[in-house]
C-alpha cells in the first residue's frame, strides 16, 4: 500500500522525542512508580525510553493481539498476562505504556486487569483518549489517516502502514 497525501509518517527520531516528552509529563506527576507494563508490541519502545528517563527498573509486558493482518482490528486475544505481583493493589504504582490508543479496546482489557494503574500513550485518537491518563499527543483528528506499524520500517521491505479511519464510530 502506498502512502496517501494525508499520511502522518513518524520517524524514529520524532517517536523518540515524543516518548521522552511523555516521560517528562509522567515525571511531573511527582509519584512513586514501582514498575512499567508495556503493551506489546507497540509499547515496547516507548516503555524502554520511559524506564530510562524515570529510573524504573522493573519492566513487564502484557501481550494482546488485535491487528492480525496489519490493516484492521480483529478479535482481541490476550497472549500473555501480567505477573501476579504487579496485579496486587489493582496495579497501583504501575505505568501501563503503549504507542497509540486507537479505539481503546486494548487499553480497556488491560484496565480491567489493573484498574488503579496509570495509563500512558505517546499518541491517542479521540475514541481511545478517555482511557488514557497521560499522553504526548491527543486528539489525532483530521490529519492522521495512517499509523505506522513498526514506524514504516520492516525487514521484508514491505509497506507497513495500518489504515485507520479517524471518524469511525464502531
CATH of domain 12-163: 3.40.50.2020
As given in the structure block, the three cell numbers for residue 58 are 522493573
Min mean pLDDT across 41-50, 68-77, 160-169 is at 160-169
Mean pLDDT of the chain: 81
Catalytic residues: 98-99, 102
Question: What's the pTM?
Answer: 0.79
Instruction: Please report which confidence band the pLDDT of residue 143 belongs to, taking 50, 70 and 90 as the band edges.
Output: very low
Q: Does the annotation place 3 within a ligand binding site?
A: no
Q: Does the annotation place 98 within a ligand binding site?
A: yes
As given in the structure block, the three cell numbers for residue 5 are 497525501
As given in the structure block, the three cell numbers for residue 60 are 513487564
For residue 75, pLDDT over 80 is answered with: yes
The pLDDT of 158-170, averaged and rounded, is: 44
Cβ distance 26 to 54 under 8 Å?
yes
> What does the pLDDT read at residue 144?
47
Q: Does the annotation place 30 within a ligand binding site?
A: no
For residue 170, pLDDT over 80 is answered with: no
**Domain edges within the chain:** 12-163
The pLDDT of 96-123, averaged and rounded, is: 94
Amino acid at each position: 500500500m502506498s502512502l496517501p497525501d494525508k499520511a502522518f509518517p513518524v520517524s524514529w527520531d520524532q517517536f523518540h522525542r515524543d516518548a521522552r516528552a511523555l516521560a517528562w509529563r509522567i515525571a511531573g506527576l511527582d509519584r512513586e512508580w514501582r514498575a512499567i507494563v508495556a503493551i506489546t508490541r507497540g509499547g515496547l519502545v516507548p516503555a524502554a525510553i520511559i524506564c530510562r528517563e524515570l529510573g524504573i527498573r522493573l519492566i513487564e509486558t502484557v501481550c494482546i493481539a488485535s491487528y492480525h493482518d496489519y490493516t484492521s482490528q480483529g478479535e482481541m486475544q490476550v497472549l500473555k498476562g501480567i505477573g501476579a505481583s504487579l496485579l496486587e493493589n489493582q496495579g497501583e504504582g504501575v505505568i501501563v505504556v503503549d504507542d497509540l490508543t486507537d479505539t481503546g479496546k486494548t487499553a480497556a482489557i488491560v484496565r480491567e486487569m489493573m484498574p488503579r494503574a496509570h495509563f500512558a500513550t505517546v499518541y491517542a485518537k479521540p475514541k481511545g483518549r478517555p482511557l488514557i491518563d497521560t499522553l504526548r499527543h491527543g486528539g489525532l483528528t483530521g490529519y492522521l489517516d495512517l499509523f505506522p506499524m513498526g514506524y514504516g520500517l520492516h525487514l521484508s521491505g514491505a509497506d507497513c502502514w495500518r489504515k485507520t479511519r479517524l471518524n469511525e464510530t464502531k
